[in-house]
Amino acid sequence: MVFTDNLHMLDIARIYLIEDDRTILHFLEETLKLRPHWRLVGHSDTFAHARVMAPLSNADVFLVDLGLPDGRGEDMLRTLAVTKPDAELLVFTVFGDESRLIHALQCGATGYVLKGCSSQELVDAIEQIREGGAPISPLLARMLLKQFRAPDPFGAPDASGSPVEWPELSDRESEVLKLVAQGYVNKEIAIRLGIGPATVSTHIKNLYKKLSVHTRVQVVRVAQERGLI
């Protein structure tokens, strides 16, 4: 029973859109026609609305625009990362704004979609991430390698003043990142390392989790201090 339930859960994506651009909403609605059993369970066009409503929804995929009119998408990600730890947080980004993307990943994003992608590309991205994959670009990989190698990646201690513990990359993760940075695609990397393509994706996803672990811990700590949880 449990097994079929899980399958069922995987099959039906409940999507929540946080985006002030109406055309994106229309685009999403068009896209959902490709997957009729997916549901758009909520939509916020302001930060204020999203902050109240999004955590209450039962969505398992959040599409978050970083450039909201009344707040920072990163703060939204932080909130969702804590209140919806099992949900996928996809960031809408313009082409290759990797610097901001890294920050978004640190804030808890689990993937990203390029603005201007086709409907099929959006569906692919959502399916990929639900199957345990993660999108990545050579530049992003390069930046991540740099981040993980840096002695103090955040440049400053966290809010409580204790030094930041930066998780370490495993050898395999480091290899994957290096190859991505050199322009290799997942299939090629899998062949080179003698592993399955899905495993490559899993490695990347784990990387993203490691990136945001710090943020999650920090947010929880701050919330505890303020008596919120």
Partner 1 sequence: MRRRSGGVARRLKGRAVPHYVWVGALLVGLMLVLHWVSRPTAEPGLVKVTTANALVPDLVGAVVKQVTLPHVLDDEESRWQKRVDYDLPWPEALSYADRAEARLGLLLPRVGTRFRVLLNGHEVAQVGWYAEADRTINTAWFPYLVNLPAGLLAERPEYNRLQVQVQGQLLERSGLWPLQIGDYDRLFVRHRLLDLWQVMGTWMMTVIALLMGVMSLMLWAALRERLFLLMAAASFAHMVRLWLSVVLEPPMSFELYFFLHRASFTLYVGFFCLLMEELFGLRVLIIRWLSYFLLVVGPLWMVWILYTQLYDFYRVWAGLLALVAATSLTIMSVQLVRHGQLKQDQFLVLLVALFTLLTGVRDFLVVQLNFPGEADIRWMSVGGLALMLTLGWVLLQRATASAREVHRLNDTLAENVARRESELRTAFEQLRLSEQQRAVEGERRRLMRDMHDGLGSQLVQTLNAVRSSNGRLETSVVESMIHHALDELRMTLDSLEPMDGDLPTILGTLRQRVAPALEAACIELRWQVQEVPPLHRLDARGVMHLFRCVQEVFANVVKHAQASRVTVRTWADGQRVYLAVEDDGVGLPPPEQRRQGRGLNNIHLRAEKLGAQVRFYPTWPGTGVEFSFPIQHPGVNPSSDWARL
156, HSE (Cβ side, Cα atoms, 13 Å): 4
83, 164, 188, 217: which one binds partner 1 (CB under 8 A): 188
Nearest-approach distance from CB 227 to partner 1, in angstroms: 41
Closer residue to partner 1 (CB): 76 or 140: 140
Residues in contact with partner 1, shown as a per-residue x/- string from 99 to 118 under the rule CB under 8 A: x----------------x--
Quick one: tokens of 36?
């009729």
For residues 80 and 95, what is the distance between their CA atoms, to the nearest angstrom? Answer: 24
**Which amino acid is located at 14 in the chain?**
R
Q: Which stretch binds partner 1 (CB under 8 A): 47-55, 76-84, 103-111, 131-139?
A: 131-139
Q: Which residues pair with 102 in a beta bridge?
A: none
For residues 159 and 182, what is the distance between their CA atoms, to the nearest angstrom? Answer: 36
Give the helix/strand (H/E) hosting 201.
helix 197-225
Quick one: tokens of 15?
């999507």
3-state secondary structure of 108: coil
For residues 55 and 76, what is the distance between their CA atoms, to the nearest angstrom? Answer: 10
3-state secondary structure of 17: strand
39, 51, 178, 221: which one binds partner 1 (CB under 8 A): 178
Q: Which stretch binds partner 1 (CB under 8 A): 80-88, 124-132, 181-189, 210-218?
A: 181-189
122, 144, 181, 219: which one binds partner 1 (CB under 8 A): 181
Pairing between strand 39-44 and 61-65? Answer: unpaired
Closer residue to partner 1 (CB): 54 or 204: 204
3-state secondary structure of 149: helix
| 185 forms part of the interface with partner 1 (CB under 8 A) | yes
95, 131, 149, 198: which one binds partner 1 (CB under 8 A): 95
Residues 65-94 that bind partner 1 (CB under 8 A): 94
From 122, 123, 133, 114, select the one nearest 176 (Cα to Cα): 133
| 223 forms part of the interface with partner 1 (CB under 8 A) | no
10, 182, 196, 228: which one binds partner 1 (CB under 8 A): 182
| 138 forms part of the interface with partner 1 (CB under 8 A) | yes
Number of residues lying near partner 1 (CB under 8 A): 20
Query: Which positions touch partner 1 (CB under 8 A)?
Result: 94-99, 116, 137-139, 141-142, 178, 180-185, 188
